[in-house]
C-alpha cells in the first residue's frame, strides 16, 4: 500500500515538474509547481514527517504559491515567447541530458555509503512535539539565528514598501 501510494505521488510530482517546464503560460507553470508541492507533502507524510508535510502545505502550497499566482495575475503576464531552438540543440540536447543524468546517478551511487533502504513508517520523530523539542534544545542557535534573519527581512520589506513622507 505504502509503495503504491509512493509511486502515485512520485509520478504526480514528476509529471507536474515536467509540466512546469513545458508550459508556456506563467499561471500554468505556477499551478504545476503547486502540484509538485502537494505531491511532496504527501511523500513527506508517507515517510512519517507529519509536521513537515503540514508545513509544506500551509507555507509553500498555501501561502507562497498563492502570492506567486497573485503577482502573475496582477501583472497580467502573457504567454512566453518560444525561442527558436538551434539545430545542434535539437539533436544533441536529449543525448547530452541522458549522459549527464547517467553520470550523476553513477557518481551518487559511488560516493554515498551503501545504506539500508528507506522503510515506510519506520521514522517516528516527525510529530510537531518532537520537532518543537529538538528546535528548542539541540538546534536552538540555528533556530534563533533564522528568526533574526527573517525579522531583518521583514524590516527590509517595510522600509522598501514604505511611502516616502516629506
Partner 1 sequence: MNFYLLSLIKTVIVVGIFMHVLAYLQWIERKVIAHVQLRVGPRRVGPHGLLQPLADVIKLITKEDILPSHVNKVFYFLAPFVAVTFALISISIIPFGPEITVAGVRTNMGLTDLNIGVLFILGISGLGVYGVALAGWASNNKYALMGGLRSSAQMISYELPMALALAAPLLLLNTLSLREIANGQAGYYLGFIPRWSIFQMPFPQIFSFMLFLIAGFAETNRVPFDLPEAENELVAGFHVEYASMKFASFFMAEYANMVTVSAVATLLFLGGWHPIFPEQYGSGLVPVAIFAGSALLCFMHAASPARPFDKYTLPVFGVLFLGAAALFLLPPVKPILLPLFWFSAKVGIILFVFIWVRATLPRFRYDQLMRFAWTFMFPVSLVNLFLTALLVAVNS
Q: Which parts of this chain interact with partner 1 (CB under 8 A)?
A: 27-28, 31, 34, 38, 41, 50-51, 53-55, 57-58, 61-63, 66-67, 69-70, 73-74, 127-128
CB of 51 to partner 1, least distance (A): 7
Nearer to partner 1, 127 or 134 (CB): 127
Shortest approach of partner 1 to residue 128 CB, angstroms?
6
C-beta of 128 vs 142, nearer to partner 1: 128
Q: Which is nearer to partner 1, 97 or 153 (CB)?
A: 153
C-alpha cell recorded at residue 131: 520537532
Q: How far apart are the first and last CA of the chain?
A: 65
User: Which residues touch 124 (CB under 8 Å, ≥6 apart)?
Assistant: 48, 130
| CA-based nearest residue to 27, from 85, 66, 84 | 66
CB closer to partner 1, 5 vs 27:
27
Minimum distance of partner 1 from residue 107's CB (angstroms):
36
Minimum gap (Å) between residue 131 Cβ and partner 1: 11
Amino acid at each position: 500500500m505504502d509503495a503504491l501510494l509512493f509511486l502515485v505521488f512520485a509520478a504526480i510530482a514528476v509529471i507536474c515538474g515536467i509540466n512546469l517546464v513545458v508550459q508556456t503560460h506563467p499561471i500554468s507553470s505556477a499551478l504545476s509547481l503547486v502540484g509538485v508541492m502537494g505531491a511532496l507533502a504527501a511523500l513527506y507524510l508517507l515517510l512519517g514527517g507529519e509536521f513537515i508535510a503540514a508545513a509544506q502545505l500551509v507555507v509553500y502550497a498555501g501561502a507562497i504559491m498563492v502570492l506567486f499566482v497573485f503577482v502573475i495575475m496582477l501583472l497580467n503576464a502573457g504567454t512566453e515567447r518560444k525561442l527558436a531552438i538551434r539545430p545542434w540543440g535539437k539533436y544533441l540536447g536529449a543525448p547530452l541530458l541522458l549522459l549527464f543524468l547517467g553520470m550523476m546517478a553513477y557518481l551518487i551511487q559511488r560516493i554515498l555509503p551503501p545504506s539500508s533502504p528507506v522503510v515506510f513508517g519506520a521514522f517516528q520523530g516527525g510529530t510537531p512535539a518532537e520537532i518543537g523539542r529538538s528546535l528548542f534544545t539541540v538546534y536552538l542557535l540555528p533556530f534563533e539565528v533564522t528568526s533574526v534573519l527573517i525579522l531583518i527581512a521583514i524590516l527590509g520589506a517595510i522600509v522598501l514598501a514604505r511611502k516616502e513622507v516629506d
